[in-house]
A and B are shown apart, each in its own frame.
Chain A
Amino acid sequence: MRAAVLLFPGLNRENDAMRALQQASGVKPTLVWHAEHDLPAGTDVVVVPGGFSYGDYLRCGAIAGRANIMNAVRAHAARGGLVLGICNGFQILCESGLLPGVLMRNRNLRFICRMQHLRVERADTAFTNRYAPGQVIEVCVAHGEGNYTADSQTLARLEGEGRVAFRYCDASGQVGGDANCNGSMNDIAGVYSEKLNVLGMMPHPENLIETIMGGTDGRGLFDSLASAAAKAA
Protein backbone atom coordinates (compact mmCIF):
# COMPACT_ATOMS: atom_id res chain seq x y z
CA MET A 1 0.00 0.00 0.00
CA ARG A 2 1.47 3.31 -1.06
CA ALA A 3 0.11 5.94 1.29
CA ALA A 4 0.50 9.72 1.13
CA VAL A 5 0.01 11.66 4.35
CA LEU A 6 -0.77 15.34 3.81
CA LEU A 7 0.89 18.00 5.92
CA PHE A 8 -0.56 21.45 6.58
CA PRO A 9 0.86 23.98 9.04
CA GLY A 10 -0.72 23.28 12.42
CA LEU A 11 -1.40 19.56 12.02
CA ASN A 12 0.07 17.40 14.79
CA ARG A 13 -1.05 13.81 14.20
CA GLU A 14 0.85 13.09 11.00
CA ASN A 15 3.42 10.87 12.71
CA ASP A 16 0.69 8.84 14.41
CA ALA A 17 -0.99 8.29 11.03
CA MET A 18 2.33 7.37 9.38
CA ARG A 19 3.09 4.87 12.13
CA ALA A 20 -0.32 3.18 11.83
CA LEU A 21 -0.06 2.99 8.03
CA GLN A 22 3.45 1.57 8.15
CA GLN A 23 2.51 -0.98 10.80
CA ALA A 24 -0.35 -2.24 8.60
CA SER A 25 1.44 -2.29 5.26
CA GLY A 26 5.15 -2.51 6.00
CA VAL A 27 5.71 0.43 3.66
CA LYS A 28 6.75 3.87 4.87
CA PRO A 29 4.18 6.47 3.76
CA THR A 30 5.24 9.68 1.99
CA LEU A 31 4.62 13.00 3.68
CA VAL A 32 3.22 15.52 1.18
CA TRP A 33 3.39 19.28 1.84
CA HIS A 34 0.18 21.21 1.15
CA ALA A 35 1.70 23.53 -1.46
CA GLU A 36 2.50 20.60 -3.78
CA HIS A 37 0.33 20.22 -6.87
CA ASP A 38 0.69 16.45 -7.28
CA LEU A 39 0.51 13.30 -5.19
CA PRO A 40 3.40 10.80 -5.51
CA ALA A 41 2.86 8.53 -8.54
CA GLY A 42 1.07 5.32 -7.65
CA THR A 43 -0.54 6.61 -4.45
CA ASP A 44 -3.22 4.17 -3.25
CA VAL A 45 -4.38 5.97 -0.12
CA VAL A 46 -4.31 9.65 0.87
CA VAL A 47 -4.56 10.35 4.60
CA VAL A 48 -5.43 13.80 5.95
CA PRO A 49 -4.39 13.64 9.61
CA GLY A 50 -5.61 15.54 12.63
CA GLY A 51 -4.45 18.67 14.39
CA PHE A 52 -5.25 22.35 14.03
CA SER A 53 -4.47 23.36 10.45
CA TYR A 54 -3.96 27.14 10.23
CA GLY A 55 -4.89 27.42 13.90
CA ASP A 56 -8.53 26.65 13.04
CA TYR A 57 -8.76 30.24 11.75
CA LEU A 58 -11.99 31.21 9.93
CA ARG A 59 -13.54 27.73 10.37
CA CYS A 60 -11.91 24.39 11.17
CA GLY A 61 -10.39 23.03 7.98
CA ALA A 62 -11.57 25.96 5.83
CA ILE A 63 -8.16 27.22 4.72
CA ALA A 64 -6.55 23.78 4.35
CA GLY A 65 -9.58 22.59 2.38
CA ARG A 66 -8.66 25.06 -0.36
CA ALA A 67 -4.91 24.33 -0.54
CA ASN A 68 -3.18 23.38 -3.82
CA ILE A 69 -2.79 19.73 -2.92
CA MET A 70 -6.55 19.33 -2.43
CA ASN A 71 -7.07 19.59 -6.22
CA ALA A 72 -4.86 16.53 -6.60
CA VAL A 73 -6.77 14.79 -3.79
CA ARG A 74 -10.10 15.56 -5.51
CA ALA A 75 -8.76 14.10 -8.77
CA HIS A 76 -7.47 11.01 -6.89
CA ALA A 77 -10.91 10.54 -5.29
CA ALA A 78 -12.69 11.04 -8.63
CA ARG A 79 -10.57 8.19 -10.05
CA GLY A 80 -11.81 5.98 -7.19
CA GLY A 81 -8.64 6.40 -5.08
CA LEU A 82 -8.97 5.99 -1.32
CA VAL A 83 -8.96 9.04 0.98
CA LEU A 84 -9.13 8.97 4.79
CA GLY A 85 -9.59 12.12 6.88
CA ILE A 86 -9.24 11.90 10.65
CA CYS A 87 -10.41 14.64 13.05
CA ASN A 88 -9.16 17.92 11.52
CA GLY A 89 -8.71 15.81 8.37
CA PHE A 90 -12.47 15.09 8.41
CA GLN A 91 -13.16 18.82 8.80
CA ILE A 92 -10.80 19.52 5.88
CA LEU A 93 -12.55 16.96 3.66
CA CYS A 94 -15.94 18.53 4.44
CA GLU A 95 -14.63 22.03 3.70
CA SER A 96 -13.02 20.84 0.47
CA GLY A 97 -16.34 19.47 -0.79
CA LEU A 98 -15.17 15.84 -0.78
CA LEU A 99 -17.68 14.96 1.93
CA PRO A 100 -21.07 16.49 2.75
CA GLY A 101 -21.95 18.33 5.94
CA VAL A 102 -19.94 20.33 8.44
CA LEU A 103 -18.45 19.81 11.92
CA MET A 104 -19.84 22.39 14.35
CA ARG A 105 -18.78 23.28 17.90
CA ASN A 106 -19.44 20.42 20.37
CA ARG A 107 -22.85 20.63 21.97
CA ASN A 108 -21.36 21.10 25.45
CA LEU A 109 -18.90 23.78 24.16
CA ARG A 110 -15.95 21.86 25.58
CA PHE A 111 -12.93 20.22 24.03
CA ILE A 112 -13.54 16.50 24.52
CA CYS A 113 -10.57 14.17 25.04
CA ARG A 114 -11.54 10.68 26.12
CA MET A 115 -11.95 7.05 25.13
CA GLN A 116 -15.04 6.44 23.02
CA HIS A 117 -16.92 3.43 21.69
CA LEU A 118 -18.00 3.35 18.06
CA ARG A 119 -20.32 1.04 16.18
CA VAL A 120 -19.00 -0.11 12.81
CA GLU A 121 -22.05 0.35 10.57
CA ARG A 122 -20.85 -1.77 7.66
CA ALA A 123 -17.87 -4.03 7.09
CA ASP A 124 -17.85 -4.24 3.30
CA THR A 125 -15.77 -1.14 2.54
CA ALA A 126 -12.07 -0.58 1.92
CA PHE A 127 -11.86 0.94 5.42
CA THR A 128 -13.73 -1.65 7.48
CA ASN A 129 -13.31 -5.09 5.84
CA ARG A 130 -11.36 -6.38 8.86
CA TYR A 131 -14.22 -5.56 11.24
CA ALA A 132 -17.63 -7.25 11.57
CA PRO A 133 -20.83 -5.33 10.80
CA GLY A 134 -22.20 -3.86 14.03
CA GLN A 135 -18.90 -4.50 15.86
CA VAL A 136 -18.22 -2.15 18.77
CA ILE A 137 -14.69 -0.77 18.86
CA GLU A 138 -13.03 1.47 21.42
CA VAL A 139 -10.84 4.32 20.20
CA CYS A 140 -10.35 7.88 21.41
CA VAL A 141 -11.74 11.30 20.55
CA ALA A 142 -9.97 14.65 20.94
CA HIS A 143 -11.81 17.58 19.42
CA GLY A 144 -13.69 20.79 20.09
CA GLU A 145 -15.63 20.81 16.83
CA GLY A 146 -16.97 17.36 16.06
CA ASN A 147 -20.70 17.99 16.05
CA TYR A 148 -21.69 16.58 12.66
CA THR A 149 -24.36 18.72 11.03
CA ALA A 150 -26.06 18.48 7.65
CA ASP A 151 -29.41 19.54 6.23
CA SER A 152 -32.25 17.04 6.48
CA GLN A 153 -32.07 15.98 2.81
CA THR A 154 -28.34 15.29 3.03
CA LEU A 155 -28.86 13.34 6.24
CA ALA A 156 -31.66 11.26 4.71
CA ARG A 157 -29.45 10.55 1.71
CA LEU A 158 -26.50 9.47 3.86
CA GLU A 159 -28.73 7.13 5.85
CA GLY A 160 -30.56 5.80 2.77
CA GLU A 161 -27.33 5.08 0.91
CA GLY A 162 -25.59 3.42 3.87
CA ARG A 163 -22.98 6.13 4.05
CA VAL A 164 -22.72 6.41 7.83
CA ALA A 165 -19.43 4.67 8.63
CA PHE A 166 -19.37 4.83 12.44
CA ARG A 167 -21.76 5.95 15.18
CA TYR A 168 -20.95 6.97 18.74
CA CYS A 169 -22.26 4.30 21.12
CA ASP A 170 -21.71 2.83 24.56
CA ALA A 171 -19.75 -0.35 25.36
CA SER A 172 -22.78 -2.49 24.51
CA GLY A 173 -23.30 -0.82 21.13
CA GLN A 174 -26.28 1.26 22.25
CA VAL A 175 -26.37 4.64 20.47
CA GLY A 176 -27.84 7.91 21.77
CA GLY A 177 -27.87 9.68 25.12
CA ASP A 178 -24.52 10.30 26.77
CA ALA A 179 -22.77 7.98 24.31
CA ASN A 180 -23.07 10.80 21.77
CA CYS A 181 -20.15 12.87 23.04
CA ASN A 182 -20.54 15.98 20.86
CA GLY A 183 -24.17 16.27 19.75
CA SER A 184 -23.66 14.93 16.21
CA MET A 185 -26.86 14.40 14.23
CA ASN A 186 -27.87 10.71 14.18
CA ASP A 187 -24.81 9.95 16.40
CA ILE A 188 -22.61 10.17 13.30
CA ALA A 189 -18.87 9.74 13.97
CA GLY A 190 -17.83 9.15 10.36
CA VAL A 191 -19.27 9.34 6.84
CA TYR A 192 -18.43 7.94 3.40
CA SER A 193 -18.53 9.59 0.01
CA GLU A 194 -21.01 8.36 -2.59
CA LYS A 195 -18.62 5.74 -3.97
CA LEU A 196 -17.45 4.70 -0.46
CA ASN A 197 -13.84 5.54 -1.33
CA VAL A 198 -13.59 8.65 0.88
CA LEU A 199 -14.04 8.34 4.65
CA GLY A 200 -14.02 11.15 7.19
CA MET A 201 -14.19 10.44 10.91
CA MET A 202 -13.69 12.45 14.11
CA PRO A 203 -12.27 9.67 16.36
CA HIS A 204 -8.62 8.58 16.21
CA PRO A 205 -8.11 4.93 15.20
CA GLU A 206 -4.41 5.68 14.56
CA ASN A 207 -3.82 6.11 18.29
CA LEU A 208 -5.18 2.68 19.23
CA ILE A 209 -2.81 0.35 17.42
CA GLU A 210 -0.59 -0.86 20.26
CA THR A 211 -1.48 -2.46 23.60
CA ILE A 212 0.86 -0.07 25.41
CA MET A 213 -1.42 2.77 24.25
CA GLY A 214 -4.51 1.19 25.78
CA GLY A 215 -5.88 -0.90 22.95
CA THR A 216 -5.59 -2.08 19.38
CA ASP A 217 -9.13 -1.58 18.09
CA GLY A 218 -7.94 1.02 15.60
CA ARG A 219 -5.66 -1.42 13.81
CA GLY A 220 -8.52 -2.99 11.88
CA LEU A 221 -9.03 0.18 9.87
CA PHE A 222 -5.44 0.32 8.66
CA ASP A 223 -5.31 -3.45 8.06
CA SER A 224 -8.51 -3.06 6.02
CA LEU A 225 -6.90 -0.35 3.90
CA ALA A 226 -3.78 -2.46 3.37
CA SER A 227 -5.82 -5.46 2.26
CA ALA A 228 -8.03 -3.31 -0.02
CA ALA A 229 -4.93 -1.77 -1.62
CA ALA A 230 -3.32 -5.20 -2.07
CA LYS A 231 -6.48 -6.51 -3.73
CA ALA A 232 -6.66 -3.52 -6.08
CA ALA A 233 -2.99 -3.89 -7.11
Chain B
Amino acid sequence: MKARVTVTLKSGVLDPQGKAIEGALRSLGIEGVDGVRQGKIFEIELSSDDRASAEAVLKEACERLLANTVVENYRVELL
Protein backbone atom coordinates (compact mmCIF):
# COMPACT_ATOMS: atom_id res chain seq x y z
CA MET B 1 0.00 0.00 0.00
CA LYS B 2 1.17 3.52 -0.74
CA ALA B 3 0.68 6.56 1.41
CA ARG B 4 1.35 10.24 1.24
CA VAL B 5 2.23 12.28 4.32
CA THR B 6 2.05 16.06 4.11
CA VAL B 7 3.82 18.14 6.76
CA THR B 8 3.04 21.84 6.99
CA LEU B 9 3.89 24.62 9.41
CA LYS B 10 1.18 25.43 11.93
CA SER B 11 -0.63 28.66 11.30
CA GLY B 12 0.99 31.55 13.10
CA VAL B 13 4.51 30.08 12.76
CA LEU B 14 6.67 32.43 10.73
CA ASP B 15 7.75 30.80 7.45
CA PRO B 16 10.62 32.85 5.98
CA GLN B 17 11.05 30.39 3.08
CA GLY B 18 7.39 30.74 2.15
CA LYS B 19 7.75 34.51 2.32
CA ALA B 20 10.80 34.42 0.02
CA ILE B 21 8.91 32.25 -2.50
CA GLU B 22 5.96 34.62 -2.31
CA GLY B 23 8.31 37.51 -3.12
CA ALA B 24 9.85 35.55 -6.01
CA LEU B 25 6.41 34.86 -7.50
CA ARG B 26 5.63 38.56 -7.29
CA SER B 27 8.91 39.46 -8.98
CA LEU B 28 8.05 37.04 -11.82
CA GLY B 29 4.90 39.07 -12.37
CA ILE B 30 2.62 36.21 -11.27
CA GLU B 31 -0.29 38.03 -9.74
CA GLY B 32 -3.14 37.00 -7.50
CA VAL B 33 -1.00 35.22 -4.89
CA ASP B 34 -1.86 36.36 -1.37
CA GLY B 35 0.44 34.06 0.56
CA VAL B 36 2.73 31.02 0.33
CA ARG B 37 3.50 28.46 3.04
CA GLN B 38 6.13 25.84 2.30
CA GLY B 39 5.79 22.25 3.52
CA LYS B 40 7.05 18.73 2.79
CA ILE B 41 5.54 15.67 1.15
CA PHE B 42 6.67 12.09 1.90
CA GLU B 43 5.66 9.27 -0.43
CA ILE B 44 5.76 6.07 1.57
CA GLU B 45 5.52 2.41 0.57
CA LEU B 46 3.97 0.24 3.26
CA SER B 47 4.42 -3.51 3.56
CA SER B 48 0.91 -4.06 4.88
CA ASP B 49 -2.36 -3.80 2.92
CA ASP B 50 -4.39 -3.36 6.08
CA ARG B 51 -5.62 0.21 6.35
CA ALA B 52 -5.90 0.29 10.13
CA SER B 53 -2.38 -0.96 10.72
CA ALA B 54 -1.04 1.33 7.97
CA GLU B 55 -2.65 4.32 9.66
CA ALA B 56 -1.15 3.32 13.00
CA VAL B 57 2.34 2.97 11.48
CA LEU B 58 2.08 6.34 9.73
CA LYS B 59 0.82 8.11 12.84
CA GLU B 60 3.78 6.79 14.81
CA ALA B 61 6.17 7.78 11.99
CA CYS B 62 4.77 11.32 11.99
CA GLU B 63 4.74 11.76 15.75
CA ARG B 64 8.22 10.35 16.28
CA LEU B 65 10.14 11.65 13.28
CA LEU B 66 8.47 13.12 10.19
CA ALA B 67 6.91 16.14 11.91
CA ASN B 68 8.10 18.34 14.74
CA THR B 69 4.73 18.87 16.35
CA VAL B 70 5.99 21.98 18.17
CA VAL B 71 5.68 23.89 14.90
CA GLU B 72 4.29 21.46 12.32
CA ASN B 73 1.01 19.69 11.49
CA TYR B 74 0.79 16.50 9.46
CA ARG B 75 -1.83 14.87 7.27
CA VAL B 76 -1.84 11.20 6.25
CA GLU B 77 -3.48 9.87 3.05
CA LEU B 78 -3.64 6.22 2.05
CA LEU B 79 -3.53 5.93 -1.74
Which residues in A have some Cβ–Cβ distance to B below 8 Å?
A: 58-59, 62-63, 66, 95, 100-102, 104-109, 147, 149-151, 183
Contact with A149, one of B13, B17, B65, B66 (Cβ below 8 angstroms) = B13
The size class of the interface chain B forms with chain A is 10 to 19
B65 contacts across to A, CB distance below 8 A: 58, 62-63, 66
Cα distance, A62 to B71, chains bound together (Å): 13
The one of B13, B16, B70 that contacts A106, using a Cβ cutoff of 8 Å: B16
* B17 engages A101 (CB within 8 Å): no
Interface residues of B (CB under 8 A from A): 13-14, 16-17, 20, 64-66, 68, 70-71
- Taking CB atoms, residues of chain B closer than 8 Å to A63 are 65
- Min CB–CB distance A186 → chain B (angstroms): 14
CA gap between A95 and B64 in the complex, in Å: 10
CB distance from A98 to the nearest CB of B (A): 13
A151 closest partner in B (C-beta): B70
Q: Which of A62, A151, A183 contacts B68 (CB 8 A)?
A: A62
Which of A102, A105, A183 contacts B70, CB < 8 Å?
A102
